[in-house]
Chain A
Amino acid sequence: MHAKTLSEKIVARASGQASVVPGQIVDCAVDLLYMHEMLAMCIQPFEEIGVGKVWDPAKIAVTLDHWVPAPNAEIARMHDAIRRFCAAQGIQRFNDIGDHGIIHQLIAERGYAHPGELVIGSDSHTNMVGAVGAFAAGIGATDTAAVMATGKLWLKVPETIRVDVSGIPDKRTVSKDIILRVIKTTGDDGAQYKAVEFTGKTVMDLPMHERLVLSNMTTEMGAKVGMIAADGTTKEYLAHTGRPFHPIAADEGATYAKTFSIDVQGMGPQVACPSNPANVKAVEEVSGTKVDVAFLGSCTNARIEDLRIAAELLDGEHVAAKVRFLITPASQRIYKEAVKEGLASKFLDAGATFIASTCGPCFGGHMGTLASKEVCISSTNRNYPGRMGSPEALVYLASPWTVTASALYGEITDPRTV
């Protein structure tokens, strides 16, 4: 039997085959399906399929994250339809507003996904969950309806690209900077239709909250999944679930379509400039660019560790005049923790706005959308035109360190100089 990559192992197991080869189309049994408000778009196609009941309510998780709290009556109606659907279908893991989170964070922190599982989510950043060693891929509404009805999804077995990272970056340079450097190298379609597997000591030394960032932004490389082998760090992260832990790693001698070797030794902070996540420059090249808004939020970079970075820099300081600094945690559990640790009062004392967990500002949906010509530095994942509001707004993507330093000085600022 030929040596398998991480994704080939999981797809083979989920399709009931001893072995699969890239390009092969297989029907896979889904271990976990998760959805946010896209479920509102899935209800009608699900009903049209005509099965009546979802295949297994225990394998489904749902939360609300894109428009929280509901900003208008039409969205409130969508939320209501989702609540009714979950109740009628017996979906126990419906995390309603108050106990919600940005879905990928919720899945990670609650330990709903485990290594070796085939996880499907109704959102492109489902890739993030690959950091725990799951095959986690995003799909659209019709596919989601089909999985709800059948528990199965057809997949083309992807070729795997290996991203091998070595070296120790400079101070205040984190996994967000590493992934931006990777995307600069691959381009925003460099991993199209492919699985990405991160390897190397630099990656395996990262704590889980930083690994999640790497997997999250493989979406911005066009990847189907972005996986990291499950090791002791993963085991510790999932220990609270009490479920048995099965580590997973690629086989020795597995075939990779391509290997990118990225040396980040001494590398400083990176910034993705308007208006493509692959338009990445070293922070020095763009420092001094005036900003109107700084945003720390989204599934990419709004975990408690990211909020602690912001609090450390803001402590006793004040956000620059004429700059709005908006902070939204990736989940309500993180929100609660930030209040408990006293981070929230540091944010408010510094003049930042600290709101409940929502995807809103990241995708220009609500709460903090940008006006024409406004410049924003953001810890999020995308900066295509119009992503955060007006198509004439300019969005720079950076780490929590760089975002917070820029909020303090009102211009893009190298956090190593603060």
Chain B
Amino acid sequence: MQEVFQGRVWIFGDDISTDHIIAGKYLGTTDARIFAEHAMENVRSDWAKQVKPGDLIVAGDNFGCGSSREQAPLALKTLGITAIVANSFARIFYRNAINLALPVVECRDLVRHVNEGETLSVDLTKGELRTAAGRTFATAPYPPHIVEILKAGGLVPKLRAELAAKT
């Protein structure tokens, strides 16, 4: 997991549901490229084409609410989104993203202080976010449990390593 990085910001509002992130009609496959190709189509029709690896999402309240579909964080990760910062996240989306080693960062009000297209710097070790204007925002550190999953590169590699260590 990259702990210090910066990227171009995409702004989204409140209550971005998993139906927004990847619509139900595209779930009839296990191919992550399909999910990526249609990400956020219900919000911005051509967004997925404009995203570049390393970009970040900054959003409002309750990001990822709705269904448990892990295809939502998988679509964003497959597009190359390196982190999502939001006022708050829906619980299943939060877990799913961590399990895929996609950092989700709770930071209240950042969305009101950054503009789309600006560069945001993220330091997960210090728990600090810095806007292009130089303003800094603090984020609560992850509990050790979550740090372990992120550092292992996701829940599956973590469990695989634990199993290998036992045998």
Contacts and interface: CB of A to CB of B under 8 A. Distances in A.
B155 A138 contact: no
A122 interface: yes
A75 B92 CA distance: 24
Interface string B17-48: 10110011101111000000000011100000
A364 B155 contact: no
B123 interface: no
A150 B68 contact: no
A189 B160 contact: no
A363 B91 CA distance: 20
Given A140-B96, A192-B62, A382-B66, A364 B160 contact: no
Contacts of A149: 159
A382 B23 CA distance: 13
A72 interface: yes
A124 B66 contact: yes
Contact of A145 (B15, B41, B156, B163): B156
Contact of B65 (A66, A154, A189): A189
B130 interface: no
Contacts of B27: 66, 363, 365
Interface in A252-290: 276
A91 interface: no
Given A140-B92, A385-B20, A150 B159 contact: yes
B28 A140 contact: no
A143 B28 contact: no
B88 to A, nearest CB: 6
Contacts of B11: none
B134 interface: no
Contacts of B145: 25, 154
A192 B66 contact: no
Given A45-B156, A142-B154, A222-B91, A387 B68 contact: no
B155 A50 contact: no
A48 B67 contact: no
Contact of A143 (B66, B95, B160): B95
Interface residues of A, number: 51
B90 A142 contact: no
Interface in B62-99: 62, 65-71, 73, 88, 90-92, 95-96, 99
Residue of A67, A154, A387 most packed against chain B (CB within 10 A): A387
Interface residues of B, number: 42
Contacts of A123: 67-68
A115 to B, nearest CB: 23
A51 interface: yes
B163 A51 contact: yes
Contacts of B30: 40-41, 44, 78
Contact of B155 (A143, A366, A382, A387): A143
Contacts of B25: 364-366, 369, 389
A189 B62 contact: yes
Contact of A364 (B23, B62, B91, B163): B23
23 contacts: A25-B143, A38-B69, A40-B30, A50-B160, A72-B28, A74-B29, A78-B29, A122-B68, A124-B67, A124-B92, A139-B96, A140-B69, A142-B96, A142-B155, A150-B159, A189-B15, A189-B88, A364-B25, A365-B24, A382-B17, A382-B66, A384-B66, A386-B24
Interface of B: 15, 17, 19-20, 23-25, 27-30, 41-43, 61-62, 65-71, 73, 88, 90-92, 95-96, 99-100, 143, 145, 154-157, 159-160, 163-164
Given A38-B70, A40-B30, A45-B156, 19 more contacts: A41-B70, A44-B30, A48-B157, A49-B163, A72-B28, A75-B28, A124-B92, A138-B92, A146-B159, A150-B159, A189-B62, A363-B19, A363-B27, A382-B17, A382-B66, A384-B17, A384-B19, A386-B23, A386-B24
